[in-house]
Structure 1
Amino acid sequence: MSRYLLDKFLYFVDRDPELVERYREDPRGTVDWWEAECANKVLNCHAGEASTWLRFTEEEREALAAHDHVALFALGAHPFLTLTLFIAMFERDHGPLEYQKAFGARLAHFALPYPDIAT
């Protein structure tokens, strides 16, 4: 499991409006494409450096493809990264703060200590 890779995906996609829409409309295709093309690129690197070993686990891939923020939280994805991306994708389908409240309510069953979100 790589919390780093989950957070990198959430951060990367959230910063590009076209990728936000792509992820909203085709989550599995976007996850597969991103893992193949972007996962091993070094963030903010202009020299084309890349690693070769980063891969999602099947559980991570499924949670991302299902837009399952509860499973992502349980896997250690940072809740602020998940929330900002999911607001960009789904807030338009709800009334004011309705999506954010539902997002929090679905996480209400978690008790302290929360899953570790350190990377």
Structure 2
Amino acid sequence: MSKYLVNKFLFTIDRDHELTERYREDPAGTVAWWEAEEANRLLNCIDAEKSTWLSFTDAERTALTTHDHVALFEMGAHPFLTLTLWIAMFERDFDEPLGMQLDYAAKLAHLGLPYPDIAT
């Protein structure tokens, strides 16, 4: 897994309200677009500075397109990046206070220490 690329996706999507909404409504389309257009753009550089080799694995692509934060965590995606993005996308779907966060945690409850390595 390219933890760097998955974390970069989560980070950049979360930092743009329009991309966050696009990812919520059309995850497969957003992941495909981002991988084709943004994955190889270097952070904080001019557009001419690009890489050419970065792409998601099939497992990463599937987890991102299905909004599967458990699979992403198990692969080593940073939990704070998924949590902040999931709050932006899904908190509105829960009626009770902290409902989304409690659901997020409950789905990860089966995992014990040591947690997957989140270093990139």
Same fold (TM over 0.5): yes
Partner Cα distance (2:107, 2:10) in 1: 19
Tell me the CA shift for residue 4 of structure 1: 0.3
TM superposition shift of 1:46: 2.4
Aligned residue identity for 2:50? A
> In 2, Cα distance between the equivalents of 1:75 and 1:88?
22
- Residue of structure 1 in register with 2:57 after alignment: 57
Aligned twin of 2:100:
99
Q: Which residue of the partner structure matches residue 112 of structure 1?
A: 113
In structure 2, the residue matched to 1:44 is 44
Identity across the alignment (%): 69
Distance 2:34 2:41 in 1: 10
Counterpart for residue 9 of structure 2: 9
| Alignment CA distance shift 1:47-1:36 (3 Å) | closer
Q: Secondary structure at the match of 2:109?
A: coil
State the match for 2:21 in structure 1. 21
1:47 shift after superposition: 5.2
TM-score, normalised to structure 2's length? 0.97
Q: CA RMSD in A?
A: 0.7
Q: Which runs of no fewer than 5 residues in structure 1 stay unpaired?
A: none
1:77 aligns with 2:77: yes
User: Whole-Å Cα distance in 1 between the matches of residues 47 and 93 of structure 2?
Assistant: 40
Partners of 2:54 and 2:119 in 1: CA distance: 17
Any gaps of 5 or more consecutive residues in structure 2?
A: none
- 1:45-75 per-residue CA deviation (whole Å, 9 max, x = no partner) reads 1252010110100000000000000000001
Partner of residue 30, structure 1: 30
> TM-score, structure 1 length as denominator?
0.98
The runs of at least 4 consecutive aligned structure 1 residues that moved more than 6 Å come to none
Q: How many residues align?
A: 119
